[in-house]
Amino acid sequence: MTAPRSASQRRSDALEKLNAVHADAWVATASGQGAHLVPLSFAWNGEQVLLATEERSASVQNLRSVGSARIALGATRDVVLIEAVLDRIVAVAEAPDVIAEIYAGQADWDPRDAGGDFVFVVLRPVRVQVWREANEIAGRTVMRDGSWVD
């Protein structure tokens, strides 16, 4: 096992994954019936995670009712795990250009070309945990209550 990373290194590694182009995240949401889990392309605008999916999808329906999600970036042994709350859901056709441009620039598709009932989902991280092996469980929380831990 390698030595555990420092808090600042983990924060930096989390941001590297948040800024990765053409990457997918595992997005878990909940309804009264159970959990939903699906891989979705994402983008990061420096403060929020941007997803794009269909209005009728289970993820959007769950977010509209529960208002939170867990988002995993990276592999199961190089984990960046984000607890996020819903800021807003906006139809692609009505979205501010800044959201659409950031999403199209980082994800590997542009929902403005997709037709259908796609929406942007804007999520604000409140907790971020970063770990690889057992020796990184301690100190894994690099964001708490929406603030990066110093």
Min dist CB 121 to a copy of itself, Å, is 14
How many whole angstroms separate alpha carbon 107 and alpha carbon 102?
8
By C-beta, is 34 or 98 nearer to a copy of itself? 34
| 145's tokens | 């209550």
How many whole angstroms separate alpha carbon 75 and alpha carbon 59?
21
By C-beta, is 91 or 114 nearer to a copy of itself? 114
Neighbours of 61 (CB within 10 A): 14
Per rule CB under 8 A, is residue 124 in the interface with a copy of itself? no
Q: Which helix (H) or strand (E) holds 16?
A: helix 7-18
Site string for a copy of itself, 32-61 (x = CB under 8 A): xxxxxxxx----------------------
CB 127 within 8 A of CB 75: no
Query: Which residue of 7, 20, 70, 148 would you call a contact of a copy of itself, by CB under 8 A?
Result: 70
CB 60 within 8 A of CB 54: yes
Per rule CB under 8 A, is residue 126 in the interface with a copy of itself? no
Per rule CB under 8 A, is residue 106 in the interface with a copy of itself? no
Binding site for a copy of itself (CB under 8 A): 23-26, 28-39, 62, 66-72, 75-77, 79, 81
